[in-house]
Structure 1
Amino acid sequence: MTPCPWKGPEDMDHIVLGYDGSDFAMQALDWALDEAELRKLPLTLAHAWQWPYGDAEEEAKAHLRKAADHVLWHGAECARSTSSGVQVETDLYEGSAAQRLVELSGDATLVVVGSRGLSALPRAVVGSVAGYVAAHAERPVIVVRGPGPLPAPTDPGPIVVADREPDASVVEFAFGEAALRQVPVSASADLTEWAASHPEVRVQAGEAPDHATLMVVGRRRAAWFGAADSLLQHAPCPVAVVSER
């Protein structure tokens, strides 16, 4: 497996966050702000709304749009008040949240979503928006899940490469995150070539998922698409889904 360059801030210019005002979205907001601060990039909060009851008077739809606008405004204000200089932008869209996030992923560095949103069923572990975006986005998607405040524990764990035979794009993303966060990379795969080209990142053998800061997996492996033990359903920490080249 030969290292290949991962596109950086010179190629894409912002972080996109799917935001709906839920507790899961607030958790994802913390992570997205951290990514924006580490990468010195702007953050775009994206919120979508739809009238769910068929035909309606424009006045009724206007009330729903106003409520959606308030949700987005509140999230942006929270982001601005808690960040250290991150430029915060907003995107309000009438239509499918999942499709809008996929559309916005085209010129983003990465997309961050909560594991569930307001519309998810109570028993759902990963919501339909998170699943769809992770399956279709053009850039890496971080699905923020796991307990507690994120993403700054007092003793941060490694970035775990969860694939046994990872694609180059998966490994490169993992090393990039590890370098930004100054934590090691952990994997069961042989990362000797990558360690040589990333001397600033320590590599440790074996996975440590229970203490991981982030687990990184290729899209084919991240599978509500078929694998029985989907990381998106069971991981104890946020999961980055990276499209294999």
Structure 2
Amino acid sequence: MSHIVLGYDGSDFSVRALEWAIEEAELRRLPLLLAHAWQWPYGQAIEEAKGHLRKAAEHVLSHGAECARASSSGVRVDTDLYEGSAARRLVGLSGGAALVVVGSRGLSALPRAVVGSVAGYVAAHADCPVIVVRGPGPGPARTGPIVVADRAPGPAVLEFAFGEAALRQVRLTTSADLAGWAELYPGVRIGPGDEPATLMVTGRRQGTRFGAAGFLLQHAPCPVAVVAEP
């Protein structure tokens, strides 16, 4: 768990995710890996045409890396260019990562459209926590609370939520039993905040349907962290 992975495609949604990923890398003092995947969408292709597409993909990734280096405070930025499925590549990279950050277009008419998107697929299958940054709007909030949105959060969810609250020096809001957790994180204030949430955190349990996480990926007013529970 030595770096942050960002899924980057040059869209407004991934640019906002880039802002969030840089902040996470700075707070955690970890390097950032920008990952971009490309693939020929029209069946059989001549190599020259595929070469042009690859060059375009290289340009997108290079530009993202330049932006990250220019706007961060000494974060090491590496890149990963992959031919194939973006969703599967990000899941593959999640095995050695502390966190994966992806952008999302936000509201969708159909739940299955969210779950079937790159962001939804990664959130449902990654080996590490995934933050889905919804919509292209302004950069990440810094002062609102971290909200545990799981009705019965497991230890992985609470550990991640407390960790984020400690890093960002903001409140933690939850209705869960926190016996023992407050002692582990004495610097974290617990209780509702006066400002909109910075981040909502929920769990994803293996062998079950996407459930509450899928609902939040559709409707939450802020970025959502999905944390795998045993």
Match of 1:219 among 184, 194, 204: 204
Residues 120-159 of structure 1 aligned to structure 2 (within 5 Å): 128-145=117-134, 148-153=137-142, 156-159=143-146
1:189, distance to aligned residue in structure 2 (A)? 1.1
- Please provide the CA RMSD for this pair: 2.6
Matched, 1:162 2:155: no
Q: Distance in 1 between matches of 2:147 and 2:100?
A: 19
What SS does the corresponding residue of 1:24 show, helix, strand or coil? helix
Partner of 1:83: 72
The answer to whether the 8 Å contact 1:146/1:236 transfers is: no
The match for 2:32 among 38, 43, 48 is 43
Unpaired runs of 5+ residues, structure 2, are: none
1:238 aligns with 2:223: yes
Q: Which amino acid aligns with 1:199?
A: P
2:188 aligns with 201
For 1:1-80, list aligned pairs within 5 A: 12-80=1-69
The 8 Å contact of residues 171 and 191 in structure 2, kept in 1 or not, is answered as: yes
1:191 aligns with 2:188: no
Check 1:128–1:135 CA distance in 2 against 1; reply closer, same or farther (3 A cut).
same
Q: 1:3: which partner in 2?
A: none
Going from structure 1 to structure 2, the CA distance change for 1:170 and 1:227 (only over 3 Å counts) comes to closer
Counterpart of 1:20, as a letter, is D
Runs of 4+ in 1 over 4 A off after TM superposition: 120-127, 226-229
Output the CA distance in 2 between the equivalents of 1:41 and 1:226. Answer: 31
Letter in 2 for 1:33: I
Amino acid corresponding to residue 26 of structure 1 in structure 2: V
Partner of 1:6: none
Pair 1:81–1:242, CA change in 2 (3 A): same
Distance 2:185 2:210 in 1: 32
> For 2:84 and 2:71, how far apart are their aligned partners in 1?
29
- Per-residue CA deviations over 1:179-216 (Å, capped at 9, x if unaligned) read 000001100112132112210111115xx697101000
**1:108-158 CA distances to partner (integer Å, 9 max, x unpaired)?**
0000000139xx9899667710000000000000000156322145xx111
1:94 aligns with 83
SS at match of 2:147: strand
Q: Deviations over 1:60-118 (max 9, x none)?
A: 1000000000000110011011111110000000000000000000000000000139x
The superposition leaves residues 16-52 of structure 1 with CA deviations (integer Å, 9 ceiling, x where unpaired) of 0000000000000000000000011100000000001
Give the letter for the 1:212 counterpart: A
CA distance in 2, matches of 1:243, 1:93: 25
Q: What amino acid sits opposite 2:228 in the alignment?
A: S
Q: Is the contact between residue 203 and residue 213 of structure 2 (CA under 8 Å) also seen in structure 1? A: no
SS of corresponding position for 1:131: helix
TM-score of the two chains, using structure 2 as the length reference: 0.91
Q: What 5-or-longer segments of structure 1 have no aligned partner?
A: 1-11
Instruction: Letter of the 2:145 partner, please give it.
Output: P
For 2:217, the aligned partner's letter is: L
Counterpart of 1:172 in structure 2 is 159
TM-score, reference length from structure 1:
0.86
The alignment covers a number of residue pairs equal to: 227
